[in-house]
């Protein structure tokens, strides 16, 4: 038999393969929204064997472990061979003397079902028409704009006109499929995930012409360019920005070029700003000492800080921080049914989340997570804990959510009251069917459309999506009637 030192302690919670996962009332348990192997007899024994013998190296969550490139093959026979014989030179022990042939095959099948779950997102073909089927009706895509390399944010002006940001550093007014560049945009650090990012219009835009936009702002320190998430307020006068004012600037600046966050939402006289942890999870998201990274912020639209914000500095003055422990939040939206602020954020490998944002709450990153590191190593063995606010929903594998809107329009049968979220990684639009604050079903729309960066409902009631495709497009969704 294999030396007992290779055995890892059993973990009480049994991992199950899932399409995506929703928290139960009890924090120590979780369940799947769409069971993949729930009725297969080998599930319990195979899952327990995975936890006892595999989790110490590969992580507790088998459904994240399988989201990888399989060097030695991913068929049942390949998995059986690897479990039985191991790969000594790569640190994988052999388990031929530990498991019976039946147990080995059941464990291999358990892992294979996890692989198939990931494969659900691997859509075969690129779209050949502008028509897409959904469970309720056929969707027709109208092209609103092209020629915007990485359309990041969409805002709506009067008369059917759009304001669209291009991550490369340009902003466009879009009308009748014509893009007109807006002058006066500040310099941006258009590297990695940085650049010109989200944009929203003031609630009184028709009278004051004020807009707000986020971007990666740079500064030179000892000859090196550092960057951070900043928000500018300006007036849009024709095709030019005037009266520019930086109203938010996240500290500290960092040398990295990712995890800027950068979504904006105006609600009830406040401006909410999401900021990522800039890739420094060990320092930023859990720190409240003059550190604005890995957090959601709340300010007034002119940049003032509300006195009733939940955190104070060492002098007793309120800070911009509204909540903390966030990784890379790239969606913010107000739930019109409850008035609550919802957020999506990128997990690492697995564990993308939907959160309901509450003032003062700690969302746990990196102390708790449903994901593992990109290199397969475990970040934390905890998915919940005292003092942390749990997500209401999470995705395994990661879909890389970006952009989110609640559907309130009557244009889309069966969608009203539900949530749309863009997927960057798998290039589709995710429809979350809601019952209260629970996601009870999901539907994949616009498969393989391109990296879906933003999704908004316009004042005309139609859904608009910004897509990183070959043409750099913005589309409007309509119900197709033959």
- Give me the active site residues, please: 259
**Dihedral through CA 117, CA 119, CA 122, CA 123, nearest 10?**
-80
Instruction: Name the token pair of 406.
Output: 């609640």
Please choose, from the candidates 107, 98, 90, 1, the residue with its C-alpha nearest in 3D space to the C-alpha of residue 45.
107
390: which residues sit within 8 A by CB, 6+ positions away? Answer: 23, 27, 364, 384
Residue with tokens 């944010």: 153
Our measurement of the distance from residue 276's CA atom to the centroid of its chain's CA atoms, rounded to an integer in Å, reads: 11
For 198, residues 6+ apart whose C-beta sits below 8 A from its C-beta are 152, 153, 165, 213, 214, 262, 263, 264, 454
Cα separation, 213 vs 189, in Å, equals 14
To 10 degrees, the CA torsion angle through 363, 353, 263, 256? 80
Rounded (5°) CA angle 372-374-379: 30
What's the rounded Cα separation, in Å, for the pair 469 and 148? 10
């Amino acid at each position: 038999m294999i030396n007992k030192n290779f055995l890892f302690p059993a973990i009480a919670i049994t991992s199950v393969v899932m399409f995506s996962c929703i928290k139960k009332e009890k924090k120590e348990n979780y369940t799947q929204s769409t069971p993949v192997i729930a009725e297969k007899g080998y599930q319990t024994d195979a899952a327990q064997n995975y936890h006892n013998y595999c989790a110490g190296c590969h992580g507790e969550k088998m459904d994240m472990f399988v989201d990888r490139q399989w060097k030695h093959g991913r068929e049942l026979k390949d998995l059986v061979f690897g479990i039985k014989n191991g790969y000594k030179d790569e640190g994988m022990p052999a388990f031929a003397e530990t498991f019976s042939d039946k147990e080995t095959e059941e464990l291999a099948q358990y892992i294979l079902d996890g692989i198939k779950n990931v494969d659900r997102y691997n859509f075969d073909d690129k779209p050949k028409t502008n028509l897409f089927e959904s469970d309720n009706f056929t969707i027709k895509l109208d092209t609103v704009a092209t020629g915007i390399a990485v359309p990041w944010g969409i805002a709506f002006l009067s008369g059917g006109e759009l304001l669209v940001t291009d991550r490369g550093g340009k902003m466009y007014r879009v009308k009748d499929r014509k893009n007109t560049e807006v002058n006066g945009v500040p310099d941006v650090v258009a590297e990695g995930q940085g650049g010109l990012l989200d944009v929203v219009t003031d609630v009184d835009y028709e009278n004051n012409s004020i807009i707000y936009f986020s971007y990666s702002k740079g500064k030179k320190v000892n000859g090196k360019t550092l960057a951070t998430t900043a928000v500018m307020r300006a007036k849009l006068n024709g095709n030019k920005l005037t009266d520019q004012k930086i109203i938010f600037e996240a500290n500290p600046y960092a040398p990295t070029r990712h995890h800027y966050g950068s979504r904006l939402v105006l609600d009830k006289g406040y401006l909410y700003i999401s900021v990522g942890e800039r890739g420094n999870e060990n320092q930023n998201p859990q720190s409240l000492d003059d550190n604005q990274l890995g957090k959601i912020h709340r300010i007034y639209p002119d940049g003032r800080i509300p006195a009733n914000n939940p955190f104070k500095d060492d002098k007793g003055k309120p800070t911009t921080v509204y909540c903390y422990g966030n990784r890379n939040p790239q969606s913010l939206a107000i739930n019109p049914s409850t008035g609550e602020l919802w957020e999506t954020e990128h997990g690492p490998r697995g564990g993308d989340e939907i959160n309901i944002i509450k003032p003062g709450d700690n969302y746990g990153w990196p102390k708790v997570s449903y994901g593992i590191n990109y290199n397969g190593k475990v970040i934390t063995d905890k998915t919940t804990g005292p003092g942390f606010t749990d997500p209401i929903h999470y995705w395994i594998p990661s879909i890389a959510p970006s952009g989110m809107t609640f559907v309130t329009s009557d244009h889309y049968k069966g969608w009203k009251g539900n949530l749309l979220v863009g997927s960057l990684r798998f290039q589709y639009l995710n429809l979350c069917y809601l019952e209260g604050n629970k996601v009870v079903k999901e539907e994949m729309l616009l498969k393989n459309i391109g990296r879906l960066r933003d999704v908004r409902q316009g004042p005309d009631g139609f859904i608009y999506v910004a897509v990183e495709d070959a043409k750099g497009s913005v589309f409007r969704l309509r119900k197709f009637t033959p």
